[in-house]
Every structure is written in structure tokens, then in C-alpha cells.
Structure 1
Amino acid sequence: MAAGIWRVFTTLSSRDHNYGMRGLTNYHLSCCVNTLLQTLSATWEVGDLLERWDAAGDSRNVPLQLKRVLAAMRGDHPQRVPHRDFLHCLDRNCIRLNVQHDADEVFLSILNFVQQQMDDKALALEIQNLYKISVEMHLKCLHCSSVQTRTSFLLSLPLHIKEDHNSLEACISSFLAEQELRDINRCFCAQCGVKTPSKQGLKLLSLPRILCVHLKRFRNSHGYTRKLDCRVTFPETLDFSEVVKEAFSSDFAQNECKYTLYAVVVHSGSAMFGHYTAYVRHRVNQSWHYADDSHIQQASWKEVQKTYGERSSSTAYMLMYRRGSKEEGQQPELSG
């Protein structure tokens, strides 16, 4: 686990009218959640679905508080953004204030709370489907050649990175590539009746509207967690059909596999002491902006590229891609 805060802002939450975005004050080490709220606000599909929910719940209901804070972040009213209510709600659900959190873990927890606490299960499923990566897992016994398969899904791609130079495309290919499982990693084969060496792999059944990528920069070794600041390049546009040509299931039927980057969660500092910020794209004009708690400023793609790593401890940790290139004036596609 990693990341927290190096400093605490005391200015009031405000909307920056120059950029059409709201900054969020740091409140009891809340940079992690503040950053995720910026990315969720930029994922307008989530806010649109929550607006359709006839919300019911109390101060412990995470999706209810999320609906309120996202509505306030997109609104023009000068009132205080109720992100403190959201933070206290998370605290009541064991994502504590005054504690350093990992952004990917908190993000997945928020999605789980939406599924558990929304009384409109159909809408909750639509929100989950925005991020749902359906996969077919297969395990082939290297002794008898029997194959076991099962379907599952992910809400983000957890990509292992090497302690050298990496590209997002290579990391995705490695994640989907077949791996041999031997020695202590052997799996039970029902046909052989014992644990045998095997080959494990994934095939893609469907890709989501929103592709969340987690670059696993934190590594545990002998009880100590360290951060990898090595270089990981990533493109503004990503075409899955070119990256992983052999990883599609025969049942894969989607025509559109092109994605556009719209948000980057950035971690600065070390594994045990750090700070989260975000680069997000404006919904209307598609320009980049940088959100550092209450401070919002315009940015450029070149500045986003500085988060590749190697020369700085401010490195991309999570990437948010949207399928297609639909802009504000077009009807968003909400199905997975």
C-alpha cells in the first residue's frame, strides 16, 4: 500500500471558472480520494447514471454521497462541494481519514460499495459494466493436455512492470500472454488427480467503455514496500486490436477497440510517504488540466508525458481510457 500527503491545504473548496473544474481541499490526508473524485468527475458516464438513480440511503451510503459530490463538481453553484461528506462516508465504511491509502484499492472499493449499497441493482450493474473487462481463463495440463476454462471479469487491468523501460502496449501483451506454472505454482488437474505443471492464459471476451489500467509500481520484498519509478510510456490513443491480436476469444464480437486517454492518476514520492494528483481532460474542449487538491491549472500532453517516470518520482499510477472519441455533443455509449 502506498501514498498519502506531504502537505495540507487550508483554502476553501472552489470552482476555477477559467477551466470549468472544481478544486478539492485536502482534508485529513484526502489527496488520494480527491484525485479519484477528479477522475470520476471526468468519467461523466458515472455521474449521468447516478443522476438517474432515485437515491435512497443515509450518511453511510457511498453511492448516495458520490452522486451528490459529482453533481456539485459539475454544477455552477458557488456552494461548498460536499466532498467532506463523501470522505466521512468512506471513513464510516472503513476507508479511514488520516490514513495513507492506495488509489487503486480505494477506486475498486468505491465500485464495490456502489454494487452493494445501491438499491437500484440495474443501474448499479450499468455502472459496473462501464469498467467490466470480461475474460476467459484457461489452464492446460502439461502432462495430459486437458484444458480447464472459466469466465470471469476485471474492473481494471493490473499490469506488472519491469525495473527498466516499459511500454503500456508491452505490459498489456505480457499480462495476457500464457505463463507456465511449475514447482510450487503447479495446479491440480482433475484428470491426472494430482498437481501438475500447467500453462495458464487469458482471452478477452469483451472490452469496456472505460478501460482502467493499474501500473503496479509498488513491490513488496521481505516485508518492505518500495516504489518503482522506472519508465512506462503510454499513448494518448490505444488500439487493442493492434496490441493483442492473439488474445481475443473466438466469441469476441466488438468492432470498436480504440481508446482515448482522458485521465491519469499520478503518485509523487516514495511508497511510504507520497502525494496523489491527476491530469484530466476537459469534457468539451478536450484540453488537459492538472488537479492538485484545491489547485487547478491548464496543462499539456507534454506535461502528462513527464509522468512516464525514470527521471522523476511523479509517475503515472492509474490510466483511464475511454472507448471511441465521442465528445460532449454526442450521445455517450453506456453499455459495456
Structure 2
Amino acid sequence: MVLVLHLCFNENSVLIPQDWFNKWVSYIGRCRPEQLNCQSPSIDDCGPGPVNFSRIMENGKLKSNLLLDVDVKAITEDLFNNLSRWYGIDGLSSDIPWRDIYKTDKNEYTFDLYPPSIKLVSRENYANFVLNCHSHKTIGFVKSCIRKKNNLENETEIHLWDAQDKDELTDDETVTLKECSLVGDKRIEYSVGSRTLSNGDSSSYSCLIKYPSSPFPRGVCGLSNLGNTCFMNSAIQCISNIAPLRKFVLSDEFRGSINATNRLGSHGEIAIAFAELIREMWSDKKRGLSCVPRDLKYKIGRYAPQFLGYTQHDAQELMNFLLDFLHEDLNRIKEKPYIEDKDADGRPDEEVANEAWSNFKRRNDSIIVDLFYGLLKSTVECPKCGYVSVTFDPFGSLSLPLEVKCLSVYVGPFDLYSLPVTPLCRARDIVQSLEHHKPITDHSKYVVTRKVGNEFDVILAESNENLYDEKIYVFRVTGVYHLKVLLLGKYTLESVPLLVSLEMTTNRISKQALCNAVKIELSKYNELYGEHFEKICQDDDLRFSFEDEIFPMEPEKIIKIEFLGDTQVKHDTIVRLPVKLQNCVDLFLTSEQLGIHDLWYCKICKDHQRAFKKFDLWKLPQVLVVQLKRYRNSYRVSKNDVFVEYPLDDFRLPYLKDSPTYELTAVSNHMGGLGGGHYTAFAKNGNSWYNFNDNFVDTLNTSPVSQSAYILVYCSKEVSSNGY
């Protein structure tokens, strides 16, 4: 069921609990049409019940750190009026969170989950007033409101400070409140005129504060959460503790290395904002305290709009983006030459690798490349003619699979096959493998489905969807299908459903006909069910009604077998053993055959082939960033929580004679599911490990080897000992 909600300008939107909305959608999806048309659904209809706002509201306000479409759902005013009339409201009408829909400068309709309510306080006389507006208003708008409130000339200079963190806000009047993370209830101090000691100069104001002595060394500094920015804080803490990079951005050489003309960078803006944040984090006055990464977040959002706002993101994506922009902002190459790639054509690997690295360095030369980049050898072999293509590609991080996987495929309802799969596994791959192991002699076909909740959804053979992490059920079906809606009084689903085909001559079917069809389908399982089947058929008549529709099976058709209720298929618990990091590297370097939708063009065969591809490590970087592939983008996002054992010291990859010896420097941890959860970081400072949890910092009293580890940062001992 697809429900489209259109938000219109000058209308109101209402926020309701997402879990209630999900129950309602599930309810209307399984009701008959005559039930949905009723004016007042009864309690016996098992509807979602009254709309209860207590899960999202507290003291008349929306609870903090809620996510749209995860915790709350925005619906139109008309829809809310109908829902409240049908099901009622549990609580006071004052608890209903209304939101105004407005039009942005980009002609987009939107609303604020947490509308800015800014208390503006004068530093001179403490006079204050509250400004309520939407988050797309600019810093210039705020300053104009201050001038108007104080009867000041339009040219009067205004300066703004975050009252909590004492950080001055940007002077760029085109920056929006959303970009400055000024949402919800905020307190902003302002001064009129030029910066002086009397009106609150930022640096002078700071020097008047006596900072308490701290037991922490420099660099042990937290980062304030600006609203679901723990992913960014975790990534920054990892990068901050890479000694050679930190020393470079804090050196006099840094400013002279800015490449402001590189169109692929940010004209130095991100690099400068990053350096200023690192300088503050590693200052004496911030030991054991915290900084606000607002300016860096604003600059990142300016050049990567996906990081604007307050939605949780992936820490690895943020880290990759930040390092890429630091590279381009610090690229020593001012004009990138055009370089044509050449085939290996049987030349020695050493020659081809040196050529690839030299060509890469002619376009990319920065401290990021010096520290983070290595070289991978990629070998692709055609399965038809045996032609081998060898290329060498630079890499800035390694994304490692966690385990070899065998996909459990149930061929309904009792045959279980364990199929070894690659990380790229499509429905067609599964069908081809099954046809090899269990050929079909008649005109039936295999239909691949996946179980989602209480439903079985068909995945078409033409789909590009990756099924690597799915529970797969395969049915043998004929060329004509019968759609039935069975409304049962009570049932229990204990195993995989059995799909049967019936020849329909009328719109009625007897229990005996149904049982006979099931018995025929079960005939090959006589050992299991033969002696019990007669008893099954001796029950009282089945009580069900159905509407029947016969339709031809077409490639674009989607079949859904839906089971109403909350009954789940029972599965045995699998004991999962720890995985060693070295095993993950071995798996990454294992040859695999490309999927049916990832074909490789063979220049000898002049055709696309399912080639075999293998990676080999050729050149390793001084700083090795490893991502543990815990998440996969499939029909639904899932997480692999397997415990990975990784070494703290003396980590070497035995594939190269001159492999660096690494020691662990930092770990980015993630708890919870993708799109939510929480990120923290562990980092080594001196000889001690510290825990960074947003603005909270503390000595790490446990091992930095964590089951929540997501990103590992290793530095070579050469880099760790002499800096660079």
C-alpha cells in the first residue's frame, strides 16, 4: 500500500507518533473496503486506537532529538481531522503539535520539526525579546529584527554569540538558521557596534574566564551534539588523533598550502574550518571540556547538502567526504593534466603499477594522499575466453566484508538449500543456482520471495536488488495464478507457507477440493506428512470466505502473499563466533564472480561476461582506515553485529614484503541500527585511551576492542614515532 501525503503552502501539518501511523496503515491495508467506508470503526475491528501524543510530547513541547519518519510522521490537517473523528485523541488538544508549512527561497514547501524560538539578549543592558521564525530565515534577518527592536539604523553593526558556548556566530548574513544549527529553543547574545572588551569581544571574553585545571592532556576535548551529529563528532575525533595530519594543519605551512582555485574543492573553506576546530580542540583551555563544531558543519553542509539538517548519517560517508575535500583544498597540483589510461597488455606488474601511481600523483598530490592512499591490484578474468585484465587503482580506505555467507533458501515448504553467495546476490542468481541443483522438468517456474513481517513479497528476476542479507523463500508456480483473500477466524503460522494451484470452474470451492490440492502438493513429502494428513482432513469444515480473481502472470506483475496478524515463522538461534580482522582482509582479497547485473565487457569476446574479479594489496598507506561492512542497502536496512577481534599493536598484512607495522589509533563505534542509534569514538592520546561521547570525555577503562566497532584507524609505527 502506498500512501502519498501532499503538503500545501499556507496549510497546517500535524505531527503524530510514527508507530501509531504504522499501525493505522497496517490496519487499513488488511481491512475490507466496506470496513474502511464506515463512519465509526468499532473496537472489535482491532483498529489502531486513539491517537496518543504522550510518546512524542513532553510538557506541551515536542520531545528532543526526534526524527521525522522514524519517531514522528507529518500528516495534513484534513487527514488528522478524519483520524481524530474516527479513532479519537488520547490526551489534551493542547498537546497536538501543529506545524506551519512555508515556502523557501528555492520554491520548496517545507516545515520545521523544531521551529526556532530564539531569545535575544543584549550584552550591554540584558534587555531581551523572543524571536519566533522558521529555520530558513537568515542571520541577516535576525540582525534586522534586533535593529528594528532597538530603533537602530540599517547600517548598524551587530554581533551574535551562542549564549551557551560563548562562540561568536558567523558574520555571513546569507547563512540560514538551519545551517547554523539554530533550531528549537535557543538563547543568543548580541552586541551593538564594533567588538570591544566592554561589549563582549569573543577572545577578550574568553580570557576573563579562569579555566579549572584538568587531569586530561591536550586534545581530550568533546564535541557538542548539534542535533543528531554524533556521526560527525565520532569521525572528527578519529581524524583529530592522527598525529601527522594534526601537526600539519596546526603548522605555519598549512596556510600556504591552501589551493583556493581548485574547482573540485571548497576554495579552502572546509580545510580552514577544520584547522580552526582542531586548533581549538588541542588548546590548553579546552582540556576535558568541549567545542562546538558549528562552523565546520555549516561549511560541510554548504558543499554537501546531504549533510544539512539533523538527520543521522553514516560516519564513514562523512569521514570520506571530509578527507576528500581536505585533499582537494590542500592539493599541490594547481592544474590537473588530462591523462589517458593504458591497458597493461602483458607488461610486468611493477611497470604498470608504477605508471598508475605516477599518473595518479600527477593529478593528486597532498598530505592526504601522502598519508591515506595506497594501491590495489585488480585482476578480472573472462570465464569464456580466459582473457585477463589487470589494473591498479588508488584507494583511501578499505571496506571489509565480515564473513563468508551461505544464503538459506527455502524451496516451499520443506526443502532447505544453503547457497554460497557473493556480496552481490540478485534474484536471478538464486534462480540460476536452484535450476542447476534442482532442475524443473515441467512448465512451472521458480518465484523468489522474501519475508517482510507477515508478508511474502516477490522479487522479480530482472530486479537489481541485492538479496545478500535477506531471508529467501522460493515457490514453484505455474503460468496462471489465482488471487484469493482468505479471512480466517484463527490460525498459527509455524512454517513456510505452501503455494498450491487450483483449477477454478466456479466462484466456490469445497474444503475437499482444497485438501486434495494440498495433498497432491505434499505427496513428495509422504515420509513427513503421510500418516498425519488424513487426521488433518478430518477437522470440521474450514470457515473462510474469499473473492477470486484469475489473472495471467506477466513479468511486471508483483505477487504478495499476505499473512494477517503478528505470527512469525520460527527459526533456530544461530551461535555466532567472533571474526578476526585478518579473516576479513582475506575475504576481501578472495576471488568472486560478478553478479548477473554487474557484467564486465570483454574486449576479446566483444560481449559482457560474468567475469571473476580479485583484489590484491600492492601498496599500503601510512594511515590505514578500515570500515567494517556492518550495513547493507537491501530491501530493508540491517546490521551485522558480529564481534570482530582486531589487534591493538603490531598489525601487519602478510601480503607484501615491505608491509608497514601498524598500531591502532582510533575507533568509531556505532550502537543501534542504521538511520538511528548513536556514534562514539575511542582514541589514543599518548599512551592512554580515551572515550569520546559527544561533549563527554573520559579515560577508557576497558579495552578499545569493542563489539560496536565500525571504523578502525591504524597508523604505521614510523608515522606514530616521528610524526610524518
* One-letter code aligned to 2:277: V
1:319 aligns with 2:712: yes
Establish whether residue 48 from structure 1 lines up as the match of residue 260 from structure 2.
no
Deviation at residue 115 of structure 1 after TM alignment: 2.7
1:85 alignment partner in structure 2: 295
Does 2:632 match 1:219? yes
Alignment-mate amino acid for residue 105 of structure 1: E
Equivalence map 1:171-210=2 (5 Å) = 171-181=584-594, 183-210=596-623
Q: Verify: 1:303 aligned to 2:694, yes or no.
A: no
Equivalent residues of 1:140, 1:198 under 8 A apart:
yes
Note the C-alpha offset of 1:110: 0.6
User: Displacement of 1:180 after TM fit?
Assistant: 2.4
Q: Which amino acid aligns with 2:283?
A: G
Counting only pairs closer than 5 Å after superposition, residues 20-99 of structure 1 correspond to structure 2 as 20=217, 21-50=220-249, 51=251, 52-54=253-255, 61-77=269-285, 81=291, 83-93=293-303, 94=305, 95-99=307-311
Q: Matched residue of 1:150: which SS?
A: strand
Is contact 2:681–2:691 with CA below 8 Å preserved after alignment?
A: yes
Deviation, structure 1 residue 237: 2.5
Counterparts of 2:392 and 2:242, CA distance in 1: 27
User: Aligned pair 1:263/2:666, yes or no?
Assistant: yes
Report Cα offsets for 1:155-186 as digits up to 9, x if no partner.
Answer: 11111223744221101111012112364444
Hey, what's the Cα distance between the residues in 1 that align with 2:622 and 2:630? 25
Give the aligned CA root-mean-square deviation in angstroms: 3.0
2:268/2:329 contact within 8 Å kept: no
TM value normalised by structure 2 = 0.39
Deviation, structure 1 residue 271: 1.7
Q: Tell me, what secondary structure is at the counterpart of 1:161?
A: coil
Q: Which protein shows a greater Rg?
A: 2
1:312 is aligned to: none
2:295 match: secondary structure: helix
* Change in 2 beyond 3 A, CA 1:209/1:119: closer
Task: Give the corresponding residue for 1:237.
Answer: 649
Alignment of 1:96-111 (within 5 A): 96-111=308-323
CA distance in 1, matches of 2:328, 2:369: 11
The change in CA–CA distance for 1:195 and 1:124 in structure 2 (over 3 A counts) is closer
Shift of 1:97: 3.3
Counterpart residue type for residue 319 of structure 1: L
Instruction: Decide which moves more: 33-42 or 89-98.
Output: 89-98
1:326 CA displacement? 5.8
> Partner residue of 2:436?
none
| Matching residue of 1:251 | none
Q: How many residues in Structure 1 have an aligned counterpart in Structure 2?
A: 305
Q: Which secondary structure does the structure 1 equivalent of 2:663 belong to?
A: strand
Q: Counterpart of 1:18?
A: 215
Report the AA paired with residue 96 of structure 1: L
Query: Is the CA contact (8 Å cut-off) linking 1:11 and 1:294 kept in structure 2?
Result: no
Q: Which runs of 5+ in 1 are unaligned?
A: 249-253, 309-314
5+ long unaligned stretches in structure 2: 1-64, 68-162, 167-210, 261-265, 335-363, 406-575
Relative contact order higher in (CA < 8 Å, ≥ 6 apart): 1
Is contact 1:16-1:23 (8 Å) kept?
no
Q: Which residue of 1 aligns with 2:136?
A: none
1:292 aligns with one of 693, 715, 719: 693
Partner of 2:401: 160
* Secondary structure, counterpart of 2:604 in structure 1: coil
Q: Kindly provide the amino acid, as one letter, of the partner of residue 709 in structure 2.
A: A
Contact 2:290-2:696 at 8 Å conserved across structures: no
Matched to 1:91, the amino acid is G
Higher strand residue share: 1
Deviations 1:87-121 (A, max 9, x none): 11112122213121100000010111123334644
Report the TM-score when normalising by structure 1. 0.81
Q: Distance in 2 between matches of 1:17 and 1:270?
A: 35
Amino acid of the structure 2 residue aligned with 1:189: C
The separation in 2 between residues aligned to 1:128 and 1:6, in whole angstroms, is 39
Contact 1:26 1:293 in 2 (8 A): yes
CA gap 1:36/1:181 in 2 versus in 1, 3 angstroms:
closer
How many Å apart are 1:216 and its aligned residue?
1.2
Whether the aligned pair in 1 keeps the contact of 2:233 and 2:694 (CA below 8 Å) is yes
Q: Confirm whether residue 132 of structure 1 aligns to residue 373 of structure 2.
A: yes
Query: Aligned equivalents of 1:30 and 1:37: distance in 2?
Result: 11
